[in-house]
Amino acid sequence: MYLSEEEPQKVDNMFLTKDDLKLSYGVELTIGKAYVDRAVPKDNLYWKGRTIYVPGASGYIFMPIYADLLRRSGATVSFLLSEAYFSINESILHSAALLEHQKIDWPTHVQECISMVAPHVTRIKLFEELKQYLLAQKPVKSTESRLGTDFPSLIRADSYLLSFACIPDETFDEQKALDGWYAMITYFLLMDDLADIRDDLLSGEENAIVEAGLNRNGIDKIERMMNAGIDKLNLINPVLSNRIEHKKSLIDIPQLVESIKRSL
């Protein structure tokens, strides 16, 4: 799964305003407004059945949050809100939905996204780095790369990174943006995996919690990863960092894992 899919009607009822995005996630108001007001793209599978652009699910909320993280990393708001940049990201997400619905496989998805992005690339070195990483047979973090995580299931949204190879701003800090991406997306995907542990165990789907090990050592590794992300986000967007830390404090991960194990 790319990010958690919920019933369209249920999700669309959880409407967010630009002020919600500002107060809850620290998103700059101009960015929040552009996302909240944007029309749902036609014939885009990622928005199939949706009536608003940013319903209240992580698979949609992450977009304005990450756009704001890019702003905080030196990208200009004018570029981030340009029609060209919106269109690139929407095309990547359409392809991600095709992957989610098993209409294409991962290599095809990546190649589609590379083709979409290629005409707009301004950061050639980053683009080549992303291509090499995403086209690997099993993309995971290595000591030679700043891309990826320790768990294959947590790279499922990394094709979205191709779009920021198009950011032209000279002051843009790539490493800061990558740190923000992995801190933010790892939290969202881990929450998704926590919710899906039982189903993923039964179906054999990749799940980072399962990969880490349904034991104390595995849970400790997951919690260290989340805490490291919170620390990095605190340097970039303290509001987002505080929210994630608070949400994490409400979840007893060991107890949740044990209850799921007992139910199998």
The residue segments making up the domain with residue 195 are: 180-263
Total H helices, total E strands in the chain? 13, 0
Q: What is the pLDDT of residue 118?
A: 97
Position 143 in a domain: no
Is 89 within 8 Å of 47 (Cβ atoms)? Answer: no
**pTM beyond 0.75, yes or no:** yes
The pLDDT assigned to 253 comes to: 86
Decide if 129 contacts 175 (C-beta within 8 A).
Answer: no
Domains in the chain, number: 1
206 lies in a domain?
Answer: yes
Residue 183: exposure state from Cβ atoms within 10 A (0-12, 13-18, ≥19): buried
pLDDT tens string, the chain, 264 residues long: the values are 465 455 555 555 567 899 999 999 999 999 999 999 999 999 999 999 999 999 989 999 999 999 999 999 999 999 999 999 999 999 999 999 999 999 999 999 999 999 999 999 999 999 999 999 999 866 666 667 889 888 888 888 999 999 999 999 999 999 999 999 999 999 999 999 888 888 888 888 888 988 898 889 999 999 999 999 999 999 999 999 999 999 999 988 888 888 877 777
- 115: which 2 tokens? 């083709």
pLDDT of residue 180: 96
Which pLDDT score, from 0 to 100, does residue 104 have? 96
**Residue 214 domain flag:** yes
Q: Is residue 147 part of a domain?
A: no
Q: Quote the CA–CA distance of 166 and 158 in Å, as a whole number.
A: 15
Q: Is residue 27 one of the residues assigned to a domain?
A: no
| Residue 113 falls inside a structural domain | no
Residue appearing with tokens 């305003």: 17
Of 15, 89, 24, the closest CA to residue 57 belongs to 15
Would you say 26 and 6 are in contact if contact means Cβ atoms under 8 Å apart? no
Report if residue 36 sits inside a domain: no
Let me know: does 92 contact 160? Beta carbons within 8 Å.
yes
